[in-house]
Structures are given as structure tokens and as C-alpha cells.
């Protein structure tokens, strides 16, 4: 297939996806490769929105448990960290000729525009890539939930969940070599089996809005394009 089967997508990028082999911060080579893959699908006419995490800098739940910082404060720090990642990705995308807007759930006018649903949709219609940062703007909600929420709000056709493994397994394939991969799953299966696709709030939002999720390996070049073209990669979660 040479034509995309999805008109509008939400790409969920974890902060860890930007680290490369260092395990912390932003690897410029990895960031450039991700930007080129995004440009590739944008050039196909796909409207692209991105929700980005902050695990490469700060993970609220872990820091709160270890340091004694309140969970709410730790989550807000994590939201600010997503802004760092979003601005970095915006800069690299625009250097590759992709017009981009960063929309933040926490207002900071000097850095990004506030998230307004109708304005974000208009950006997409004009061919701009929209990067959503600061999660939902509320503590206790993950960026996975933010991805599901934004996808529902802007009328996306699918969520592309980019990970370090090529789908959803019965167990962690990095640890358990006998773990079996699922080709497809139903939302209820993910919830019942407590599979690590997205948190339960995110999965429930997708289920309520009939939003399919494709979980795939970001490290394999061309996978984002394959996903939007409808090729079989990773694991698809749907109703």
C-alpha cells in the first residue's frame, strides 16, 4: 500500500525513546532520526500530533517514592520536563522543514502556546505538526492518558505507541525470552491481564472512544510509516 489509511494520528513518544544508549537526557542522533520519520509521514499528507513524555529526565511516581517529594509536586516537575523534550523535537523538526507548534496544558507564553482544542485542530488542518506537552496539566495522570485524551479531543484515527520493543508480550521480552507476542488484543484483555500497554485510565478512554492503539518498535527505521500505511507491525489494540 502506498497511501496512508489514517488521516490523523497521535504519536505517543516516551521520554526514554530520546535517550539512545545513554539512558538519560536527549541523544541528538536519536532525536534527528525520530524527526525524519515524522517528516516522512507528514510528507504523505498525514496530520500528525505528538504527545511526549519525560522519563529521560524525571519520572514523578519514582522520584516521589524515593525522595519524599509529594506526588503532586513530582508530577508537576515531570510536566515541565516534557516541555524540554517538546521544544527540542520542535527545533529539529523545523530544521528539517516541518512546521511545528508546541501546545502546553500549563500556560507558559514565552515558550509555547496554550492548548486550545480548536486551535490545535486548525494547526493540523494547515499541515503543521502539533506537539502536546505538560501532559493533561493535572497531577496523577500519565502522558499515556494525555495521549488518549488529546486523541479523542482532536478526532484522531489511531494512537501510535512508540516503544523499545516490537509489540505487546505476555511478559517482558528483555527478561523472559519465552515471552510470547500478541498480534492483536482487545481493550478488555489489556485491562484484565494488566498488560503494560498503557495505564488503565488511558486504555479505558480509548475503549470508550473506539480509538485503536498500535504498539511498535520505534528503533526500527520506517516503522512509523509502515504503521500509517496499514502494514502489519507490532501489536494492535482495538475493540
pLDDT in tens, 176-227: 888 999 999 999 999 999 998 899 999 999 999 999 999 999 989 999 999 9
Domains of the chain, CATH where assigned: 8-238 (3.40.1160.10)
With CA atoms as reference, report the closest residue to 34 among 220, 233, 234, 227.
Answer: 220
Cα–Cα distances in angstroms (integers) from residue 47 to residues 25, 87, 164, 221, in the given order: 28, 19, 24, 20
Residues 40 and 28: their CA atoms lie apart, in Å, by 18
Lowest mean pLDDT among 28-32, 63-67, 108-112, 222-226: 63-67
Record the pTM.
Answer: 0.93
Amino acid at each position: 500500500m502506498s497511501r496512508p489509511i489514517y488521516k490523523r494520528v497521535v504519536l505517543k513518544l516516551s521520554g526514554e525513546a530520546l535517550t539512545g544508549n545513554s539512558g538519560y537526557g536527549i541523544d541528538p542522533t536519536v532525536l534527528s532520526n525520530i524527526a525524519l520519520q515524522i517528516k516522512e509521514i507528514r510528507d504523505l499528507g498525514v496530520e500528525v500530533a505528538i504527545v511526549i513524555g519525560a522519563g529521560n529526565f524525571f519520572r514523578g511516581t519514582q522520584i516521589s517514592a524515593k525522595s519524599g517529594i509529594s506526588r503532586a509536586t513530582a508530577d508537576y516537575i515531570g510536566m515541565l520536563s516534557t516541555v524540554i523534550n517538546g521544544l527540542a523535537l520542535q527545533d529539529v523538526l523545523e530544521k528539517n522543514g516541518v512546521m511545528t507548534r508546541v501546545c502546553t496544558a500549563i500556560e507558559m507564553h514565552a515558550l509555547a502556546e496554550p492548548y486550545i482544542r480548536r486551535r490545535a485542530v486548525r494547526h493540523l488542518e494547515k499541515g503543521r505538526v502539533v506537539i502536546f506537552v505538560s501532559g493533561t496539566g493535572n497531577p496523577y495522570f500519565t502522558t499515556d492518558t494525555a495521549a488518549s485524551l488529546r486523541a479523542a479531543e482532536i478526532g484522531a484515527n489511531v494512537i501510535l505507541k512508540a516503544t523499545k520493543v516490537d509489540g505487546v508480550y505476555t511478559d517482558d521480552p528483555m527478561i523472559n525470552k519465552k515471552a510470547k507476542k500478541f498480534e492483536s488484543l482487545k481493550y478488555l484483555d489489556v485491562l484484565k491481564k494488566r498488560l503494560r500497554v498503557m495505564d488503565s485510565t488511558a486504555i479505558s478512554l480509548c475503549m470508550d472512544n473506539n480509538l485503536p492503539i498500535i504498539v511498535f518498535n520505534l528503533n526500527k527505521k520506517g516503522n512509523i510509516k509502515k504503521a500509517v500505511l496499514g502494514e502489519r507491525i507490532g501489536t494492535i489494540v482495538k475493540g
